[in-house]
Amino acid sequence: MIRFESVSKKYPDGTLAVDELDLVAPSGRITVLVGPSGCGKTTSLRMINRMIEPTDGRIWLDDRDTASVPTHELRRGIGYVIQHAGLFPHRTVVDNITTVPELLGQDKKRARARAMELMERVGLPAQLAKRYPAQLSGGQQQRVGVARALAADPPVMLMDEPFSAVDPVVRAQLQNEFLRLQGELGKTIVFVTHDIDEAIKLGDQVAVLRVGGHLAQLASPADLLAAPADTFVAEFVGRDRGYRALGFAGAGRLPLHHEHSVALGSGLGEAREAGVDGWVLVTDAEERPQGWLRTDRLADAASGETVVQEQLNLGGTLASENATLREALDSALSSPSGRGVIVDGSGLLLGTVTASEVLARIEQQRVAADGPSVRRTGAGEAS
């Protein structure tokens, strides 16, 4: 657990970067600090490992006052990941990863073995071990950065916009793997970003900071979307919050319709027969949905042609049987037939659901929760 106790940072020129911040980052959880530039989020992060010294207040690591620990000792026990990874260009990947174990005087052979294991864990092929950072892509460098931060198995990790320098596709990948990794490791993580979507995706709790280093709201992502504490938070959280909030509510057991599907390679005649409202769902031989086929424009059934991949409309997204409301609704909205495809854990077709059915479920849940389903949290801790 990391605890900020009325922590302030005031620069000699009078700038107040952080103003009496009280905040607890619980053990084993991801706490995201988010806010516009100048809100003191990075300053707050760096005060934890004393890259920046607070001018007032205390920061506790469990029951240790960080100010009472020598800085280098404190820092070796805290993993740190930054935007451009900050790898040492003159050291190989494996030497970068073993930096902290080496500082701690750990056995070299064991440290290297652990480094190789970590590389695998963060999705880096073992043959990259002897490469230098400049030989890696940005995404790979960032993975090395994460592995390096984890090398000495610190209970606490600080991450300063670690994924913002890579392209959106790689970023989404890294975020997903980060969540998977955190699921396995359960570190106490403080994560800084300016991207509210990233905050909502990754955070167990999100602290929204406003310029001048004030905590505007501390809440779970769902609560943040459902009940912003003030207009600043509401504006910062942005549009589509109602829709995005659906991402935090399970859809439960939806009323599925049986969908008559055809397999790839079936005759066009059969496909036309099976079509409902001009569309038929096409699956592979194991009944995994592949896409939709428009049946009202199909050529003469007698032609002997068969259903091929190139004919399919791939617009529809799939939702799993334990999808969130957002995924279920998106599945229906994105489907060219208006019928959202639901699959089981191994991707096999279960049935379809319409948008109005998902909306009915949303209404049901709202009524069941008796009004707004959220507690207001954080507002009282803001000052």
Partner 1 sequence: MTPPGLTAPPVLLHHAPTAGLAVDSSPGGMFSYFSDHRDEVLNWLGYHAWLSAVPVLAGLLIALPLGWLARRYRWTYPPLVTAAGVLYTIPSIALFVAMPELIGTQILDPINVAVALTVYTVALLVRVVADGLAAVPEDVAQAATAMGLTRRQRLLKVELPLAVPVIAAGVRVAVVANVSLVAVAGTIGVPNLGQLFTTGFQLSVGNPYYPPITLGIVLCVLLALVLDLLVVGATRLVTPWRRAVGGS
Residues lying near partner 1 in the complex (CB under 8 A) are found at 49, 51, 71-78, 80, 82-92, 99-100, 103, 131-132, 134-135, 145, 148, 158
Nearest Cα neighbor of 126 from 144, 101, 107 is 144
Judged by beta carbon, residue 99 or residue 352, the one nearer partner 1 is 99
Nearest distance in Å: CB 85, partner 1: 8
Judged by beta carbon, residue 79 or residue 228, the one nearer partner 1 is 79
Helix (H) or strand (E) holding 362: helix 355-368
Judged by beta carbon, residue 130 or residue 180, the one nearer partner 1 is 130
Nearest distance in Å: CB 16, partner 1: 23
Distance from C-alpha of 317 to C-alpha of 327, rounded to nearest angstrom: 8
Nearest distance in Å: CB 103, partner 1: 6
Length of the chain: 383
Judged by beta carbon, residue 159 or residue 353, the one nearer partner 1 is 159
Nearest distance in Å: CB 111, partner 1: 14
Are the CB atoms for 287 and 248 separated by under 8 Å? no
CB atoms within 10 A of CB 128: 17
Judged by beta carbon, residue 61 or residue 158, the one nearer partner 1 is 158
Distance from C-alpha of 337 to C-alpha of 282, rounded to nearest angstrom: 12
Block residue for tokens 């050529």: 299
**Structure letter (DSSP) for residue 301:** G
Are the CB atoms for 39 and 210 separated by under 8 Å? yes
Nearest distance in Å: CB 32, partner 1: 19
Nearest distance in Å: CB 88, partner 1: 6
Block residue for tokens 């955190």: 182
User: Alpha-carbon torsion 231, 235, 239, 240, what sign?
Assistant: negative
Q: How many helices (H) and strands (E) does the chain have?
A: 14, 16
Nearest distance in Å: CB 172, partner 1: 23
Judged by beta carbon, residue 132 or residue 232, the one nearer partner 1 is 132
Judged by beta carbon, residue 162 or residue 247, the one nearer partner 1 is 162
Kindly write down the DSSP assignment for every residue of 245-291, as one continuous string. HGGGSB--S--PBP--EEETT-BHHHHHHH-BTTEEEEE-TT--EEE
Nearest distance in Å: CB 52, partner 1: 11
Judged by beta carbon, residue 84 or residue 376, the one nearer partner 1 is 84
**Structure letter (DSSP) for residue 317:** P
